[in-house]
Structure formats: C-alpha cells, structure tokens
Chain A
C-alpha cells in the first residue's frame, strides 16, 4: 500500500487494512526499541501509540504529510520511547541521534506535546468501570446516538443512559484531576 492509500483508509475508518499497510514499519521501530533497553512488547506498545498519534494528526483536514509515513512514524516512536526511558530513568545509548530535519523534529514534538493531556484523559477514562468506558467510547468515538447506546448496553430508557453518561463524565473528571495533581 502506498502512503496515500494508507491515509485514505485511516480517514475512512478502515483501520484494519491501514494497520496492515503500516505493519511493515514495525521492524525498524522494534529494532530501535530493543537496542535501547526495550522489550518486544514495549516496542509494539510504542508502535501502537505512534499509530494513534499519526491517526489523530490525520483528523486535521489541513494536514499535509511533509515526509513519508515511515519517517514520521519512526520519529514519533523514537521520541515516545525516549520519554518512556526518561520516565524509567534509564540510560540512553550514545548512538541515539536526534532527527536531522529540524522542522520535522519540531512538528513531531508539537504533536506529541499536544497529545499529552489527551493521553492523560484517556487514562482517566480507562480507569472507569467497563460500562462507563464503553458508553463514552460509543458516544464520542463511534458517534452512536443515546437511543442506540441505551439498547446496546441494556439501559431501560434513553434518559437513564444519558444520566449514566453524566455520571461517567463526572467520574472521569475526578480521575483526571487526581492524575494531574
């Protein structure tokens, strides 16, 4: 698949073929993570995080790819892993070089910085109970109506579902507050 085809799939919500196309970039990321104190599993996690950031970037209608997806993804994953290592207070190997392209490097840094609070909020939502998690995802990500959600998750009425949603948001807000302090 070409980059353009991958982007098209992603934008149309066809994550399966897109991921399949992007999977070929995994080995490079793996190699890097494993070289730098990471496990295979960690490499895969970082890769998936990189995919999420790439995907979120595509949501911007004005988005323009300034480099190949491969380069972008690799750079994002590199920086994400760097973050992880910092968190773990582990040493970074000397041969780890910063990106040559200054503008690209800046852009990617901005993308990651912008993602940070959202990722934190994701954590906050993730900490909720199963039903809450599902309800919020169905409503905000899958864009289902409250009526559909009520029938899918087994709420008696739409109103009950709606009230449940408010409670879930409230809880997530509480979680988020705790996480950021």
Chain B
C-alpha cells in the first residue's frame, strides 16, 4: 500500500493533530514525491464529489424528463378552423341526414382533401346566421355560434341560411378508420377526438369573424389537465398534421341549482334528528330562512390587490377593486386573450410566463409591435422576437385585428406594471366586535338558491362544495366574493379567498384553487342584473323574515297574556264556588247534627265565623266546632253531647277512582255532583288516582272527563258508592256532553260544570300550545348552532347526539 495515502487522506479530512498537521505541511513543501501524491489525491477527492453531483443531476434529469413526457401526452382535439357545423339545442334546424359531401374546394380554397375528409360522414345543419345558435353534434360536442359570426370572402356577414358541415372522429376506431394521424410535427399525441367544421353558402366557403369566435365544448370523460386544441393542417399526402396547440379551458358544467344543497353542513341531518321531514324542501327552507338576520356591515375592507404564493411555488396575482373585485380592463383582456398560453408568474405554459417581463424585453414600443404582429417582427429579423421563437418553438397568434387600441394599451399596462406587493388585508380590528357579524345571513342563500342563478358558477357541484366550507369561514364577505364575480372562473376567486384566510381554511381554498375549476360563460350585463337581483332579494327576504318573526312572537305573547287572565278569572271564581258549596254542605251537616242531638239550632250565625272558628263560648257551640272540623276535612263526625249523652254521627266514606289508560289524556278531571248542593266538588287527584270521601247525607253522581287536544272523553257513575272504581273513558262530542249535563243535572250545577269543563279544555289547549312553543324554541336554539356554525364552539355533530 502506498504509504502516503492514509496520511494525505487524514490531512484532507482534517483528522491530524496540530503537531502532525504542521509536520505534514512542512513535508509538503520539501518532499516533491509527497506533493505529487497529494495533488493527485486531491484531484481524486474532487472527482468523487463530481461523480456524486453528476449522478444526482442525472437522476433528477431523468425524473423531470419522465414527468414532462407524461404531460406532453395531451388530449388533442383537432379543429379545422375556417368554419363550422352541428345540431341544435335551442331549436332544431333541418338536420339533414348524414352523408358524404365532398365539395370541389375545401375550406382553404384548395382541392387538397385528406383521407379523413373522404371517409367520415358529414353532419349538416342549416342555421340562420343572424341569430345566436347552439348546436350539439352526434358525439355531444356543443358549439355556440354568435349571430353574424360568419362572413363571406368580402368580409360581409352572411344573411341567408347557411349549411354547417361537421365531421367527427371521437373514438379510437373512428380515428383509425379515417386514417387520421395523431402526430404533431412528428411528435406523437394522445387524442381525445377530432372534428372538422365548415360553413358554406352554396359552394362558397364562409369564414369566421375573428371578433365573434365560436365557443366549442368538447365532451371528455377523463379531463386531463393539459388538454390542448390543435389546428389541423392538410398534407399533400392526404394526412393531417396537427399544429398550433391552444390550451382549452376547463368549463364548469352547471346543474339545476334547486337540486343542490346550499344549507350549512349538518343542517339537514339536524333537522331530521329533531323529527322533521328533511326531504321536504319547503319545510327545511322555511326553517333555515327563519334565521335570516341583517348583517349590513359585511362589505368593509376588501384587499385591493393581492399576491399569493401557492404551496407549489406558483404565484398568483389578483387585482381587485375596493367594493366588488371587478378586474381592471387590462387583466380582463389578458384573461380573455392570453391566459390560455401565458401565466402571470414565471411558469411557462405554451408561451413564457409574464413575470419580470418589463425587465427582459427591449425598451420602447417593442411589446406593442410584438403583440400586434410577432411574425412580422420575426421576419424582419428582430433579435429578441427570434430568440423567443427559438426558445418556445412556436410563434404567438397575431392580434392586429383582435385588440382595439384601448384594449392593447390596457393589456400592456397590465403586463408591465411593477411587480405587485402584498397589500395587508385590512382586518376586522377596525370594526368593533358588536357590529361585526361573522355568520352568513340565510336570506343571502335564499336569494342565490334561485333558478335565476342557473347557468352561473353558483349552480355547480363545485360551488356547492365550496359553500359548505364558506359557512365555516365565519367571514360573510367570502360568499359575496363568489356572488359578485360570476363572470370569473372559480379558481380565480379561490385564490383571492385563500389570501384572506389563514391556517386550515387557507389550505382548503388553496386546494380548491389548485383544481383550477373554471367558470361559466355569462355576460357582464347578466352578471350585473343578477347582482341587483341578489341585493334586492336579500333585503326583501331579511325584512320579510324579521317581520314575520316579530309578528309571530307578538301573537304568542298576546295569547299567553289572555291565558293568564283567564286563569286568574277562573281561580277567583273557583274560590267563591268552593266556599259556596262548603257552606251549603256545612249547613246540611249542622242541621243533621242538631237533629240527632235533639236540639234546636241557634240561628243566623255569621257565615264568616264558620271558617274562622273563633268561638269562645262553651256549650252548644262545641257541636258547631266539631261539625265545622268534620266538614272541612271531610271526615266522619262522631260527637257525644256531654250533657245528654246523645250522639251525632255523620259518616264520610272514601271513594277511589282510577282511569284506565290515563296516560293517553292530556288531562283528566273527576267531578262529584251531590244532589243536595248547588254546584259540584272535585275529587283530589294524586298521581291520577282520584280520591275523596262521600258524605252519607247526599247522593253523588261522579263524572270523569278526559281532555286530549280538542277532544273530550267521558264516563259517569250514578249513585256512586264509597268503593274503588276502575273506569274507561269514551269519546264524546262537545254537543253530546252538553246534552248529558243538561239532562242529568239541575241548571245551576250544569252551568258550573260546563264552565269548568270549558276552562279545562282551554287550559289543555293552552298547555299544549306553550309546550309546542317551548319545544320549538329549544329546537331553534339548537339548530341555530348548526345554521350559524361560527357562534358556537361545539362542533355541530355533537349537538345531534344531545
């Protein structure tokens, strides 16, 4: 082994002691053999490092290459531009049967037809070019054609009905049969289908007015992110080469908005848990909207401009105006014309990213000239234009006739503005806690959950999903963002929302943003109208609900007041009636007691004294005292006159009545009606067993009445005995009951009974009414936490278990 290797290695790795190191360095100066070995070894160490680096880079390179390859395998849709054809959704217009049409000249004015042109059957539609038309092809491609979008050779809009001819090859077998290639400049493409469209007026080809492009929606089962639209170029050999890829926007498909669920999370479940039919939308709506309340301070402090970096490092910039986030014109121009190929960050799509643009392009009017006609610049030999062409491998479309002066300059201003800075989002701090209402007013949901909003970004499954999260953001402005930006794709709004939020919620909206869910085409005018509609309805609903609730509570208060008055009246009357019957019974008992004792009863004792019992005299008065005691307590009088030894006995004997199935009634009352008194007496109710003692001096009729809702149940025992009864009540109409009371009892008794029964009925109703209110308020209180998830700390799921 080379004697130096270990030593040098230890020196390089700094493993030598100070003395060894000094000695080594001295040796290095004097020993050329060591020096040579040292240099060589140093070189090897660097070589080893380089090898490590090289392999690291190689593997990263391979990884990237694989990823890029996968991305390139895009879905190709071939669009032979020039012109168009198809089926009608709105109004079906003369769909001629499919046939093989081969006109003399193709859309380019040459007779250079490809194989595919000859093999594929054409679908021909005749449309009125002066109207907006939407057509659907056999394979489901939907094409919307604005009025006057076809022009003839002279550039004049076509007026007479025109024939639209379309050929489609959407399935692999069709594509193969038609001999269509899937190569773009020699590169293989994965295709989702191809179609050809052309419009003719007789044999004359028509072209599309560039300012009124057709909108094509292609059905795909498996949307791949980098789907592109390629233009077909016929080759002399009958094949087609696909060129000029354009990114396609992922459109949202709208559904019937009323079929979506716009309630807060767990709302329907909770409603069901409280025993309501959650399938009944009228019911669930009325429950939900009853929580509408006015939160008028929700439009404060929007961010005016936001820059936002997503997890993967891409940067999104959004410019928003103070009130409604409408985009500046330049941005709008950018998104309408450029965003398919250019991002506003450094990311390259088809063309380069726009970040740092002003720093790298030539000064002066270069950008303007480049946008207007880049191909002219390239031909003229402009260095930078050629550089871009070489780097991206393709030029840019020409915008000379597409953009007007204002649009062009708005766009340039937008592209070259200084890199935006994050503007602090003015926070809630500036608004006092009392006035800030974090919840979403259900009236707003009612306003948008309306078929007027069909065919907007709100009528989508995607928005439905977002809305559930929006409820939990506790920031009502976020819903407004979506409502006020109907013309924008969802992902743009998501990005703005993500800048407002933080933490887990931010992540959620970042994830939404990263899905790049698109928009739904509506015009600014429609959007504005819907906004007005929304604002109007929101206010109307809120006010209507508030009024209705106020009225409801006021009515209920009034009813409660009436019931309280009734109760007081009834109690007062009962007090008098009871003392009346008591004194009558006492009167009878007294007479009987004196009779048994064989004495004459002293007259005209003041009635009040019976009850107070403040009798100081001895003698005959003692009898009174015992009788009063016995009558009050309804216990047997057993009195022996100390002077005569004679006895006075009045028996009170117990009667017990139990009602079978007593639980099924709201209330049961048992009356005993003595034949000798002017009114009834009540049996004492102890846990639904009715007990009282009967006075042997009287005959009693017992009637039991059960109340349940508005119905009454009845049983009577004539000549009731002192014993235990178990009775069943049977249903009786109010009229029959009246009749029975009328026949069985004298007028006085009957009136009192009727009065009491009516009161019992009223009280039963009143009890069930207030019970219902109590239950309703309990449910409302609990549901409120579900409807307004921000105002409670308990997760709503827990509430269900309660």
Which A residues contact B (CB, under 8 angstroms)? 1-2, 5, 15-20, 23-24, 27-28, 31, 44, 47-48, 51-52, 55-56, 117-126, 133, 136-137, 139-142, 165-167, 169-170, 172-173, 176-177
Contacts and interface: CB of A to CB of B under 8 A. Distances in A.
A18 to B, nearest CB: 7
29 contacts: A2-B346, A16-B64, A18-B60, A19-B61, A19-B63, A20-B67, A31-B390, A52-B50, A52-B54, A56-B50, A56-B53, A118-B43, A120-B43, A121-B43, A121-B45, A121-B47, A121-B48, A122-B48, A125-B44, A125-B47, A140-B49, A141-B48, A141-B51, A166-B9, A169-B44, A170-B2, A173-B5, A173-B40, A173-B41
The 9 closest A-B pairs by CB, nearest first: A121-B47, A141-B52, A19-B60, A136-B48, A137-B52, A122-B47, A15-B60, A122-B50, A140-B48
Contacts of B642: none
B390 A118 contact: no
B53 A169 contact: no
B317 to A, nearest CB: 15
Nearest to A14: B60
B46 interface: yes
B51 A122 contact: yes
B48 to A, nearest CB: 4
A142 B52 contact: yes
Interface in B56-91: 56-58, 60-61, 63-65, 67-68
A27 B338 CA distance: 23
A21 B358 CA distance: 21
- Interface centre among B41, B53, B55, B57, by most A CB within 10 Å? B57
A19 to B, nearest CB: 4
B50 A44 contact: no
Nearest to A124: B47
B51 A23 contact: no
- By DSSP majority rule, is chain B's interface helix, strand, loop, or mixed? helix
A45 to B, nearest CB: 9
Interface string B345-372: 0101000000110000000000000000
Interface string B33-45: 0000100110111
A54 B391 CA distance: 20
Contacts of A1: 313, 346
A23 B68 contact: yes
B393 interface: yes
Given A5-B313, A126-B51, A140-B52, A173 B61 contact: no
- Interface centre among A137, A165, A177, by most B CB within 10 Å? A137
Contacts of A120: 43, 47
Contacts of A15: 56-57, 60
B1 A170 contact: yes
Contact of B51 (A18, A19, A137): A137
Nearest to A68: B360
Interface string B245-274: 000000000000000000000000000000
Q: How large is the interface on B (under 10, 10 to 19, 20 to 34, 35 or more residues)?
A: 35 or more
Interface in B5-47: 5-6, 9, 37, 40-41, 43-47
A51 B52 CA distance: 13
B58 A48 contact: yes
Contacts of B346: 1-2
- By DSSP majority rule, is chain A's interface helix, strand, loop, or mixed? helix
A55 B58 CA distance: 13
B238 to A, nearest CB: 29
A126 B355 CA distance: 42
Nearest to B58: A48
B47 A176 contact: yes
Contacts of A119: 47, 50
A119 to B, nearest CB: 7
Nearest to B45: A140
Given A17-B313, A133-B51, 14 more contacts: A15-B57, A18-B60, A23-B64, A24-B348, A122-B54, A123-B47, A124-B44, A137-B51, A141-B49, A142-B52, A166-B1, A169-B5, A172-B44, A176-B40
Nearest to A132: B48
Contacts of B54: 48, 52, 122
A86 B355 CA distance: 40
Contacts of B9: 165-166, 169
B64 A19 contact: yes
A69 B9 CA distance: 36
A166 B5 contact: yes
Contact of B393 (A27, A122, A140): A27
Nearest to B68: A23
B52 A118 contact: no
Contact of B53 (A17, A27, A52, A123): A52
Contacts of B56: 15, 141
A35 to B, nearest CB: 11
- Interface centre among B2, B40, B48, B60, by most A CB within 10 Å? B48
A125 B60 contact: no
A118 B67 contact: no
A118 B47 CA distance: 5
B637 to A, nearest CB: 108
A169 to B, nearest CB: 6
B393 A176 contact: no
Contacts of A23: 61, 64-65, 68
Contacts of A27: 391, 393
Contacts of B43: 117-118, 120-121, 176
Interface string B764-796: 000000000000000000000000000000000
B226 to A, nearest CB: 15
A20 B65 CA distance: 8
A119 B67 CA distance: 29
Nearest to B44: A172
Contacts of B356: 2
Contacts of A55: 53, 57
A166 B2 CA distance: 9
Given A169-B9, A170-B1, A172-B47, A16 B40 contact: no
Contact of B391 (A28, A56, A121, A122): A28
A165 B64 CA distance: 33
Contacts of B58: 48
A53 to B, nearest CB: 10
